[in-house]
Structure 1
Amino acid sequence: MTTTAVATNTRVELLAGRSWTSVCDWDQLVPGRGVAVLLPDGTQAAVFRDHTGRLYSVANRDPFTGAYVLSRGLVGSTADGRVYVASPLLKQRFDLATGECLDDETVRIPVHAARLGAA
């Protein structure tokens, strides 16, 4: 999907438990930047859109520091095209599609299913 194909009143939804939860407007997502959202169970997620218009969501908690800051991280991509967010604190990179830490293969963060819904 590309950003030009998305209506301005479109909402971003995350799968929370067994139901989809509306978390923010598509227009609030600046390509390459994240937003933090609160899910119904009290956990935080970080939502991103990349420069091609793809939507991603991962846990907002940095597993190395325990701080809820991943939504403030920088989005980039590896030479082989893996899109990641780099933690703003210690700079570990997390694959936005899988949650895998690209700098420590023993660490992984939760990934949330995300989709576009109607406003």
Structure 2
Amino acid sequence: MTKSTTAMPIIQKNHYSTLTDGIADLREKGYDHDFDQAEFHLECKKLKKNFKPENFTITHTYRFEGMTNPSDNSVLYGIEADDGTKGILIDAYGVYADAISPEMIEKFRVEYKSVDEE
């Protein structure tokens, strides 16, 4: 069995108390822009740029689960584009997940592995 050559992002053990804490930490690390997910690409409206799946890397992934309401589930992504643009994407998952292309699904597929196992 051969190992995939595509590097998969790791959902890291969530060491943040809140989504807000995670966002603040990524901002301190230079993830200054906000990305929106479209069917075939990511959008950075502030820069008026679109990034196809082959033009960005997911560098950080943190999952947050609502304690009392399953609709509060979200994932915080730290993303770096090939041109050096760094930003975040906050994505709801579950019943509110948006329809995206197979290429975007593949890009956001993650390996469930805790930081402690590295």
TM-score between both structures, scaled by the size of structure 2: 0.31
Q: Which is greater in Rg? A: 2
Taking structure 1 as the reference length, the TM-score comes to 0.31
**Higher helix fraction: Structure 1 or Structure 2?**
2
Larger % of strand: which? 1
